[in-house]
């Protein structure tokens, strides 16, 4: 009997403890309290964003660069404004000897070449001896002399060879001036006139040469479907060698535009043509609509106003800075 009473008392105590624990749990739920494990050391994963801190010189389409940084990077600023753009036509051509300063030296009588004094490439003065020919008719020798000063560009006889009065023995050319023959396609012929200014690039690393067209052919070539336009170039230094190809840029009429920038200012960012515009201490990648361009300037039809300051040289440095900032933010 005693054992039964002890067991019943123990069961009663356990039931009271369980009930108290349940009441405490319900009370905590009613007051919105969190379990101790969460409140004390748990992690709250409800992030609303990342705080990168520390500041950044880049934001969106802007790059913050001081004047000192611009100067150190070799970046030059300029002001957008009016400009006169040249309408140009790009052509290919070839250098030729000036045909008005070229002489074919032909024997007066047929005979045998007994002596040769000059070779191809030799410089000769007017009246200088080129060769000696023994006449077949009189069996006497006579001399072939240079009728002009210049360079021997062809020698068509050899020692002991029969020289005919029907073909030249030497060709002498004065190469102090040369011709450039430019090839103009039919669709461009209406734009080309005698007197037009042309800029020739010999593609030798030197400066371009300015000249004027003095001849435009009245007929074209059936093989190339082009017509010839010709200019004369000074060649006192011997820089230009007949037979070599060159590039030409025909300078046609100029057109005034209201807003223009240097062609080096244009960059492509995210498939947009942009100009970096100065705004206080930052540079904005401003999308622009580009019109006509020439070797120096580009017309801006929309996106930039006259008087605004922009990056004219080394704009690729700013583009690189902008790309660096976008990469830092791409998490």
**CATH code of the domain covering residue 82:** 2.40.420.20
Please tell me whether residues 288 and 313 are part of one structural domain.
Answer: yes
Last residue of a domain, one of 173, 207, 235: 173
Q: If you average pLDDT over residues 152-168, what whole number do you get? A: 96
pLDDT at 329: 52
DSSP letters along 137-177, please?
A: TT--EEEEE-SSSEEEEEE---TT-EE-TTS-SEEEE-TTE
The residue written with tokens 């969460």 in the block is 38
329: helix, strand or coil: helix
Q: Is residue 28 part of a domain?
A: no
Distance between CA 179 and CA 181 in Å, rounded?
6
Q: pLDDT-derived band of residue 254, with 50, 70 and 90 as boundaries? A: confident
Distance between CA 213 and CA 194 in Å, rounded?
5
Q: Which of 12-16, 66-70, 83-87, 246-250 is predicted with the least confidence, judged by mean pLDDT?
A: 12-16
Q: What is the pLDDT of residues 124-146, one digit of tens each?
A: 999 999 999 999 888 899 999 99
The residue written with tokens 């046609």 in the block is 252
Please tell me whether residues 325 and 266 are part of one structural domain.
Answer: yes
Last residue of a domain, one of 207, 239, 255: 255
Domain count, the chain: 3
pLDDT of residue 235 exceeding 80: yes
Please tell me whether residues 267 and 251 are part of one structural domain.
Answer: no
Residue 305's domain spans which residues?
A: 58-86+256-329
Please tell me whether residues 221 and 93 are part of one structural domain.
Answer: yes
pLDDT of residue 250 exceeding 80: yes
The pair of structure tokens assigned to 131 is 């060769």
């Amino acid at each position: 009997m005693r054992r039964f009473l002890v067991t019943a008392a123990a069961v009663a105590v356990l039931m009271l403890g369980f009930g108290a624990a349940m009441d405490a749990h319900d009370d905590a739920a009613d007051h919105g309290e969190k379990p101790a494990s969460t409140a004390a050391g748990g992690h709250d994963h409800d992030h609303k964003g990342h705080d990168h801190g520390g500041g950044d010189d880049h934001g969106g389409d802007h790059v913050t660069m001081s004047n000192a940084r611009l100067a150190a990077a070799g970046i030059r600023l300029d002001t957008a404004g009016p400009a006169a753009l040249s309408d140009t036509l790009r052509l290919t051509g070839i250098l030729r000897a000036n045909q008005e300063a070229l002489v074919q030296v032909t024997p007066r009588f047929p005979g045998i070449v007994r002596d040769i004094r000059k070779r191809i490439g030799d410089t000769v003065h007017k009246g200088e001896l080129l060769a000696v020919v023994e006449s077949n008719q009189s069996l006497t020798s006579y001399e072939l002399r240079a009728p002009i000063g210049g360079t021997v560009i062809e020698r068509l006889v050899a020692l002991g060879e029969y020289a005919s009065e029907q073909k030249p023995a030497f060709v002498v050319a004065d190469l102090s001036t040369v011709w450039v023959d430019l090839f103009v396609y039919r669709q461009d012929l209406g734009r080309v006139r005698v007197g037009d200014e042309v800029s020739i690039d010999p593609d030798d690393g030197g400066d371009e040469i300015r000249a004027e067209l003095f001849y435009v052919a009245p007929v074209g070539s059936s093989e190339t479907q082009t017509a010839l336009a010709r200019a004369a170039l000074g060649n006192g230094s011997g820089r230009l060698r007949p037979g070599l190809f060159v590039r030409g840029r025909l300078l046609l009429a100029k057109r005034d535009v209201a807003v223009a920038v240097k062609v080096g200012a244009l960059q492509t960012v995210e498939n947009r043509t942009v100009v970096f515009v100065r705004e206080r201490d930052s540079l904005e990648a401003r999308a622009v609509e580009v019109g006509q361009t020439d070797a120096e300037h580009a017309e801006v039809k929309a996106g930039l106003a006259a008087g605004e300051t922009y990056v004219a040289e080394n704009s690729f440095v700013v583009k690189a800075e902008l790309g660096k900032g976008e990469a830092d933010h791409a998490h």
